[in-house]
Homo-oligomer: A and B are copies of this chain.
Amino acid sequence: MGTTQLETAPEPKYWHLKTVLSEALDSEFSVGEILPNERDLAARFGVARATLRQALEQLELEGRLQRRRGVGTTVAPPRMGVAVGTEEHTWPGAAGDAWQPADCTVAAPPAAVADLLESVHGEQVHTVRRSRVSRGQPVAAELVYVPASSVPALPAIDTPSGAARARAVLRELRHLELEGQDRAVELGSASAEDAKELDRLPGAPVLVVTTRFFAAGRTAAVSVATYRADTCRLTFGDHDGVEIHHGPERRAS
């Protein structure tokens, strides 16, 4: 990565800068390597730090870089494939899924979720919090909303309200016959709460996967899972997990 001079160009500086850096990452850096700090890089390219940062932000959004305050900017490994959907539909918490129940509370769900549940307003809704770890890294945080009417046989509040209760709620849910499910993926930004769990700063880009579970002719549960967008590639395989990716860190833009 020489002391490149930016030529006059019709395109913005940060865009050109991003291209130059991207090529340098492919050819002159290896995964995990630390880049020069932002002040040095900016000086080297003859731009203000804010401009350099604009380029770095783009590259981080694309999963090419990882920046950590107090540490530095490192070259990110290729995104990991994370299996999200198999065609056989199952309840959350079914045998050997990738999630680990963490907690369970009873509260009114956010308005958007209440709409999806089509439940009676003010009905009790169990909220199970789960987290997902892949290759030693937290990749997703999830909230499963289960209306009380979906788990009528659930023992009263005598069960403690921690992971044990979370498991109890999901276990009860499995007694219903699952008739189908429904998935949507959209871009979001991490709430302060999710950010903490995902080891990112608030506002970090996340992929939000919303799943509706249908049973007994209605929506029996709703799950909202937020995946780190920088490190994850969500896979919806029926050819399960053919997971290859080599070469010097290429990606289709």
List the interface of chain A (C-beta within 8 A of B). Answer: 11, 15, 18, 58, 61-63, 79, 81, 85, 87, 89, 110-113, 115, 180-192, 194, 202-203, 205, 207-208, 210, 212, 214, 224, 226, 229-230, 232-239, 242, 244-247, 250-253
**A226: chain B residues within 8 A (beta carbon):** 253
**Min distance, Cβ A112 to any Cβ of chain B, angstroms:** 5
Give bound CA distance, A155 to B245, whole Å. 34
Q: Determine which residue in A180, A190, A234 has the highest number of CB atoms from chain B within 10 A of its CB, and name it.
A: A234
**A194: chain B residues within 8 A (beta carbon):** 253
Give bound CA distance, A247 to B114, whole Å. 11
For the complex of A and B, 5 pairs with smallest distance between CB atoms = A187-B229, A183-B236, A186-B233, A111-B250, A185-B234
Q: Is the CB of B236 within 8 A of A236?
A: yes
Q: Is the CB of B253 within 8 A of A58?
A: no
Q: Contact partner of A203 among B58, B113, B234, CB < 8 A? A: B58
